[in-house]
Amino acid sequence: MSISSQYDPTSVEDKWYQYWLDHNYFHATPQTGKEAYTIVIPPPNVTGVLHMGHMLNNTIQDVLIRKARMEGKEACWIPGTDHASIATEAKVVRMLREQGIKKSDLSREEFMKHAWEWKEKYGGIILEQLKKLGASCDWERTGFTMDQEYHDAVIRVFVDLYNKGYIYRGLRMINWDCEALTTISNEEVIYKEDGEKSILYSVKYQIKDSDEFVTIATQRPETIMGDTGIAVNPKDERFRHLIGKKALVPFINREIPIIGDDYVELDFGTGCLKVTPAHDPNDYEIGQRHNLEVIDTINLDGTLNEKCEIDKYVGQDRFKVRKMIIGDLKAANILVGEEEFVTKIGRSERTNSVVEPKLSLQWFIKMKDISRKAHKAVMDDEIQLYPSKFKNTYNHWMENVRDWCISRQLWWGQRIPAYYYGEGEDDFVVAETIAEAVELAKEKSGNSALQESDLRQDPDVLDTWASSNIWPIETFGGFSDASFDKKKGKIDKKKNPELDFFYPTETLVTAPEILFFWVARMIIAGYEYLDEKPFKNVYLTGIVRDKQRRKMSKSLGNSPDPLVLIKQYGADGVRTGMLFSSPAGNDLLFDEKLCEQGRNFSNKIWNAFRLVKGLEISEENQPNINKQAIEWFKARFNKTLTEIEDHFAKFRMSDALMSVYKLVWNDFCSWYLEWIKPEYGQPIDRQTYDNTLVIFEQVLKLLHPFMPFISEELWHQIKERSESEALIISSWPEAEQWDENLLKQVDFLFEVTAGIRNIRNSKGISPKENLELVTSSKDVERVSASLEKLGNVSVVNSDDKPANSFSFVIGADEYHIPASENVDVEAERKKMEEELNYTKGFMQSVSKKLANERFVSGAPEQVVANERKKLADAEAKIKTIEESLANL
RNA sequence: GGAGUGUUAGCUCAGUUGGUUUAGAGCACUGCCUUGACAGGGCAGGGGUCGUUGGUUCGAAUCCAAUACACUCCACCA
């Protein structure tokens, strides 16, 4: 037989993935009598391409889902993509710009056509890439957050929440991009790390009916005409007397109140703050507290409007006006200071223009009441977060939860179903369809002549998270007419067999960054519509970083291409590489060496198989030592499996993998196979051979969730299998009782073996040279046959101590290997003295403990007995070593 | 500014309610091995006063306090 000595994943992986697909193993359906195990994928952006974060995240999900499938559960992993309104729209706009098309030249419909074309062309690439990783998703259920049904569900939820009184319209300070003429989210505002240099100007405002002045500090003098107040800290002795008086805005002489507010810092600037509610978020809040007027002096394109009351500024850009007004202030002799300072200026990620804070009417969800159950569910461990430290973060967020602004000034997304019939602030209705809207509008306005053409739909779309929050529900059609009760605003699970079977889902695997954006909001939706959690566990992965702890990013170019890695190391290698070093919640310091380690592991398994498959079989009886080896490995296997289950129960994926890794590499390859391996050229007895194949199969099962491809390949190489016998749908082993004494016995066997090998190593004796091992140990008798094989020795049980020999001590027994040449007595003596010293030191610390009366009386009996045993063992050992020393 | 987490071997991390030899693993490192499944390998080995200082206890990596350092999240100075 000629099998390559190196495992080649390339052909194997595509073959088995196709095989799994062909046999529909990934597809799940509701089944009576079967337990469901559902995972919904965190839907990646349609425009996305696979990066290392996805690799980690989806590997974990696949491990969980494959294990569940093998455990006989109806395992359902729902894949899909998110329309990601901001990110996608930005990409489409950029693409159009490259073609010379401006978004502003397009109608909404035309733009959407381009966007859909883009989505059809590039959307979902990432899902294809996931297949290379081995992801066993139920592809028939692939979803998209802008599918027609999904869209309808999102709108339905909006209307429902509006009718329940959770949604309202309100003023809010938003980030405005004056070049792109759009709102941008906080995430799209970037601040230079070290801030930017700016100048803080001090300007004198006259106090009304007085010669006194108050000096304020500002870095935006062009907003002076929008001032509607001046604030000082009420604790500030310097200015307290001014509170309640009025000041005059330079040039335009508007009277504005001087107010006291804690927000003002005593030691920054001049201690006096001009308040411009229309152009600064903090000023807006101060304005709210003190009922200040809001005067918006800046147009959408960043020029000043007529409200600034100074003709020459009107129509000029805000930065030009800044220069102009500085000159004018100087000329008027009221600019009294210019000080350079470093501040953080927000710039638009896309246009790099300075973000203009702007007040506008937006849609909000009231969060306090609606999130109460979701808060409690996590605090009561109804939903478990892994690692649990995120419970704190979650609690903190929930306790201070703020209303959620859900409108976005974009086109790509679910358009807000609000329809305006008049100019008044309250002249609108909210409805699922325009037909319903007309009816509602007639009612509300009292104008029965209203028609569809009289209504204008709100131009904004919903925040992406306001649609992905129903992902675990709507992927099963929860909001369809069949199961959603509009009057109650609740879903009746019993009327939806899919939802009834698969919901709540089992585990959500996602990144901590979106704990609030997404996870919390899914929990809220789950309780609002089903009075039930959407998932039982939330596994929060870390961030994938490079070796220097830097985040992986395109601009740094430090992120490897996952598909290249898969090509180099195999999907199994990359999967295990990612998992080797990723405890939940900890950042993963990615190093290609980890993938190399994963690939080496594949190779190790491959070669273990080559050895077994290459054996000749004889019909001779099974030797006892093989029987012992098999019994030992079974015990070892069961113990390890118990550990693995424990790790899985605690979501310690790395540890679970490491247990499998050590079981395969150390226990199976290094010990078991060496133990049963016949001498060169000799055959193996059939019974041992068959047993070994069974063991190999069990091991492959444990490997499968982590390394699906190589395990499936070898599974079929062991013997021909029918399609109902594929490894992916085989049964996960159940841990059985094991004999702990047997394990101890064999540990002892290994220890003696290591002792022998150590002597070979240090004395330069070849492993091939058969040696004599003389000992008086009684323990060795039961394992002597195995010891002779593993250590390549002949055991002589005798109380005699051969004169010219190397020796080592285990427990209280001494082992001698007679030497063919003269032994260096001094070296032996030195070695023994070192061991003697160590043991004596150890004994001392134990006897010190035992000499302490409060320990003996205070500590539990078990602990004291244990210490006594340690002391006795150490004493025996010391005696043995001392005797040997005397003999030398 | 508010909240939280961490600090154990060169690196990444375990160490479960204080007691199982004088603290473990993987990788890295050192020595030897052209061993017959695998050099992408084998065997053996070295390496840590558990950030620092106090305290509680018969007993502390583990509990408490202070301190230093690192990181994360939230809110952010006109």
Q: What is the pLDDT of residues A13-54, one digit of tens each?
A: 999 999 999 999 999 999 999 999 999 999 998 887 888 889
| Chain A 326..345 CB hits on strand B (< 7 A) | 343-344
Strand B close to A273 by CB, under 7 A: yes
Whose CA is closest to A588, among A59, A81, A130?
A: A59
- Report the C-alpha gap between A44 and A318 in whole angstroms: 39
In strand B, which positions have an atom below 7 A from any protein CB?
2-6, 11-14, 19-22, 25-28, 31-32, 35-45, 57-59, 72-78
Say how far A849 CA is from B63 C1', in Å: 21
Half-sphere exposure in the Cβ direction for A788 (13 Å, CA): 14
Cα–Cα distances in angstroms (integers) from residue A370 to residues A168, A379, A488, A529, in the given order: 14, 16, 15, 11
- E strands, A178-299, in order: 182-184, 189-191, 196-207, 213-218, 229-232, 246-248, 255-260, 272-275
Q: According to the per-residue pLDDT averaged within each range, which of A4-8, A488-492, A538-542 is highest?
A: A488-492
How many CB atoms lie under 10 A from the CB of residue A852? 12
Strand B close to A846 by CB, under 7 A: yes
- Report the C-alpha gap between A541 and A582 in whole angstroms: 8
Q: Determine if the peptide bond prior to A387 is cis (ω within 30°).
A: yes
Say how far A844 CA is from B59 C1', in Å: 15
Looking at residue A187, its pLDDT comes to 61
Strand B close to A490 by CB, under 7 A: no
| Chain A 512..541 CB hits on strand B (< 7 A) | 512-513, 516
Looking at residue A584, its pLDDT comes to 65
Say how far A389 CA is from B5 C1', in Å: 8
Scanning A469-591, the segments in alpha helix (DSSP H) are 471-474, 497-502, 521-530, 562-580
CB A10 within 8 A of CB A706: no
| Model-wide pTM > 0.95 | no
Whose CA is closest to A593, among A619, A561, A618, A568?
A: A568
Q: Determine if the peptide bond prior to A250 is cis (ω within 30°).
A: no
- Report the C-alpha gap between A527 and A490 in whole angstroms: 10
Cα–Cα distances in angstroms (integers) from residue A602 to residues A165, A658, A710, A729, in the given order: 58, 14, 7, 21
Say how far A375 CA is from B75 C1', in Å: 21
Nearest nucleotide by C1' from A680 CA? B36
Assign A438 a pLDDT band (cuts: 50, 70, 90).
Answer: very high
Q: Which phi and psi angles does A620 have, rounded to 5°?
A: -70, 165
Looking at residue A619, its pLDDT comes to 93
- Report the C-alpha gap between A785 and A749 in whole angstroms: 10
Say how far A651 CA is from B37 C1', in Å: 34
Q: Which residues pair with A45 in a beta bridge?
A: A82
Strand B close to A604 by CB, under 7 A: yes
At A304 the three-state DSSP class reads strand
CB A322 within 8 A of CB A335: no
In the predicted structure, residue A3 carries a pLDDT above the cut 80 = no
Q: Which phi and psi angles does A420 have, rounded to 5°?
A: -100, 135
In the predicted structure, residue A1 carries a pLDDT above the cut 50 = no
Q: In degrees, to the nearest 5, what angle opens at C-alpha A735 toward C-alphas A731 and A740?
A: 155
Say how far A44 CA is from B69 C1', in Å: 37
In the predicted structure, residue A2 carries a pLDDT above the cut 70 = no
Nearest nucleotide by C1' from A275 CA? B78
Half-sphere exposure in the Cβ direction for A671 (13 Å, CA): 26
Strand B close to A7 by CB, under 7 A: yes
**How do residues A317-376 score in pLDDT, each as one tens digit?**
999 999 999 999 999 999 998 888 777 788 877 678 888 888 888 898 999 899 999 999
Tell me whether residue A502 is exposed, middle or buried, using C-beta atoms within 10 angstroms of its C-beta: 0 to 12, 13 to 18, 19 or more: buried
Nearest nucleotide by C1' from A232 CA? B78
From A67-81, A170-184, A408-422, the region with the lowest mean pLDDT: A170-184
DSSP code at position A223: G
Q: Scan for tokens 């939940």, then name that residue.
A: A584
- Report the C-alpha gap between A640 and A665 in whole angstroms: 13
- Report the C-alpha gap between A695 and A703 in whole angstroms: 12
How many CB atoms lie under 10 A from the CB of residue A319? 12
| Chain A 182..221 CB hits on strand B (< 7 A) | 186, 191, 200, 217-220
Whose CA is closest to A312, among A357, A355, A253, A252?
A: A252
Q: What percent of chain A has pLDDT over 70?
A: 98
Strand B close to A6 by CB, under 7 A: yes
Q: Which residues pair with A407 in a beta bridge?
A: A462
Nearest nucleotide by C1' from A580 CA? B26
Q: According to the per-residue pLDDT averaged within each range, which of A292-301, A385-394, A724-733, A841-850 is highest?
A: A724-733
Structure-block tokens of residue A782 = 């039961």
- Report the C-alpha gap between A267 and A274 in whole angstroms: 15
- Report the C-alpha gap between A463 and A403 in whole angstroms: 13
Say how far A397 CA is from B74 C1', in Å: 8
Strand B close to A679 by CB, under 7 A: yes
- Report the C-alpha gap between A541 and A705 in whole angstroms: 18
From A85-94, A320-329, A725-734, the region with the lowest mean pLDDT: A85-94
Q: Which H or E run includes A773? A: strand A771-775
Strand B close to A282 by CB, under 7 A: yes
Strand B close to A599 by CB, under 7 A: yes
Length of chain A: 888
Tell me whether residue A108 is exposed, middle or buried, using C-beta atoms within 10 angstroms of its C-beta: 0 to 12, 13 to 18, 19 or more: exposed
Whose CA is closest to A370, among A166, A70, A94?
A: A166
Tell me the average pLDDT across A760-784.
Answer: 90
What type of residue sits at position A168?
A: Y
Say how far A752 CA is from B58 C1', in Å: 37
**How do residues A268-313 score in pLDDT, each as one tens digit?**
788 899 999 999 888 888 888 888 999 999 998 899 999 999 999 9
Half-sphere exposure in the Cβ direction for A856 (13 Å, CA): 9
Q: Which residues pair with A189 in a beta bridge?
A: A348
CA distance between the termini of chain A: 54
DSSP code at position A27: -
Say how far A120 CA is from B47 C1', in Å: 57
Is ipTM strictly over 0.90? yes
Whose CA is closest to A602, among A712, A459, A457?
A: A712
Strand B close to A274 by CB, under 7 A: yes
How many CB atoms lie under 10 A from the CB of residue A875? 15
Strand B close to A657 by CB, under 7 A: no
Whose CA is closest to A601, among A461, A728, A707, A697?
A: A707
Q: Which H or E run includes A612? A: helix A592-613
- Report the C-alpha gap between A144 and A750 in whole angstroms: 57
Higher pLDDT: A830 or A744? It is A744
Mean pLDDT of chain A: 91
Which residue lies nearest B36, CA-to-C1' measured? A680
Strand B close to A859 by CB, under 7 A: yes
Q: Which residues pair with A745 in a beta bridge?
A: none
- E strands, A433-486, in order: 456-457, 461-462, 484-485
| Chain A 561..580 CB hits on strand B (< 7 A) | 580
Cα–Cα distances in angstroms (integers) from residue A123 to residues A149, A571, A767, in the given order: 18, 23, 60
Tell me whether residue A656 is exposed, middle or buried, using C-beta atoms within 10 angstroms of its C-beta: 0 to 12, 13 to 18, 19 or more: buried
Q: What percent of chain A has pLDDT over 90?
A: 62
Say how far A540 CA is from B29 C1', in Å: 34
Q: Scan for tokens 């099998």, then name that residue.
A: A3
Nearest nucleotide by C1' from A600 CA? B40
Strand B close to A855 by CB, under 7 A: yes
Nearest nucleotide by C1' from A614 CA? B37
Nearest nucleotide by C1' from A873 CA? B21
Q: According to the per-residue pLDDT averaged within each range, which of A195-209, A770-784, A812-826 is highest?
A: A770-784
Q: Scan for tokens 């996931």, then name that residue.
A: A130
Tell me the average pLDDT across A162-170.
Answer: 93
